[in-house]
Amino acid sequence: MIGDMVRSRDARDRGELQQHMAEVLGVVNEVVGGDPAFTIGDEFQARFDSPAQAIEASVQLHLRSIGLTRLRIGIGWGELLIDDPARSPFGQDGPCWWRAREAIEFVDGSTQSRGPEARTAFRSASPLDPVLNSYLLLRDTLLAGFDEMDTRIALGLVEGLSQTEIARRLSINKSSVSRRAHTHGILALLEARDIGALPLGGEG
């Protein structure tokens, strides 16, 4: 995975923004793994064992950065040819990283005409790529419409809380949680998260 923050140079305090985003990366590492970390500037990278893990990390990253910044994320699935821990994070190379770079460059060039600025794209050697990318476009378009309350409800459900527990945490009625979860697409978003488990075949 390769990601970056959209228009981070426009932030009033870029250092503070990066600090907050580093905290987001740390939380995602705790709940999903992949050891996401900044590399140069506002770019971050992570390495996952499966497309499902990477796609789950991407939705968590987008959710946890709503209200903080918008993200572009490219996910590449393929072989890792070079892995030199002594040169971390730059001692890795192979089709997985080439495809991740291709994916984020596609997002960077397509957000103006094809969807929200916070976008994710996926590249592999699988014929199922168009299916995954259609899902990611619809998912990220839905996320672009989330307000703070939608986000906090979604994160509560991701954490395994019941709607009653979320209502108590947010000091709102359970009916308000249920209404938003159904009508704002939050439940649909969560129910579709297992699409990353599709059998891609090809290079792993």
pLDDT digits (tens, 9 = 90+) for 90-125: 567 789 999 999 999 999 876 555 556 679 999 999
CATH superfamily, domain at 2-146+184-197: Nucleotide cyclase, GGDEF domain (3.30.70.1230)
Q: Is the overall model pTM greater than 0.85, yes or no?
A: yes
Query: Residue 143 pLDDT > 70, yes or no?
Result: yes
Residue type, 99: R
Record the tokens describing residue 186, joined without a space.
């939050």
Q: Which residues contact 139 (CB under 8 A, 6 or more apart)?
A: 59, 120, 189, 192
Query: Residue 58 pLDDT > 70, yes or no?
Result: yes
Which has the closest alpha carbon to 189: 159, 152, 157?
157
Query: Residue 88 pLDDT > 70, yes or no?
Result: no
Proportion of the chain above pLDDT 70, given as a percent: 89
Confidence of residue 61 (pLDDT cuts 50, 70, 90): very high
Query: Residue 204 pLDDT > 50, yes or no?
Result: no
Handedness of CA 98, 100, 105, 110 (dihedral sign): positive
Pairing relationship of beta strands 82-83 and 37-38 according to DSSP bridges: unpaired
Q: How far is CA 161 from the centre of its chain?
A: 21
d(CA 182, CA 184): 6
Q: What is the CA radius of gyration of the chain?
A: 17
Q: Is 143 exposed, middle or buried (0-12, 13-18, 19+ CB in 10 A)?
A: buried
Q: Which residues in the chain belong to E strands, given as ranges?
A: 2-5, 37-38, 43-45, 71-76, 82-83, 92-93, 119-123
- H or E stretch including 191? helix 186-191
Least confident among 149-153, 159-163, 188-192 = 188-192
Q: How far is CA 123 from the centre of its chain?
A: 15
Residue spans per domain, the chain: 2-146+184-197
DSSP label of 195: G
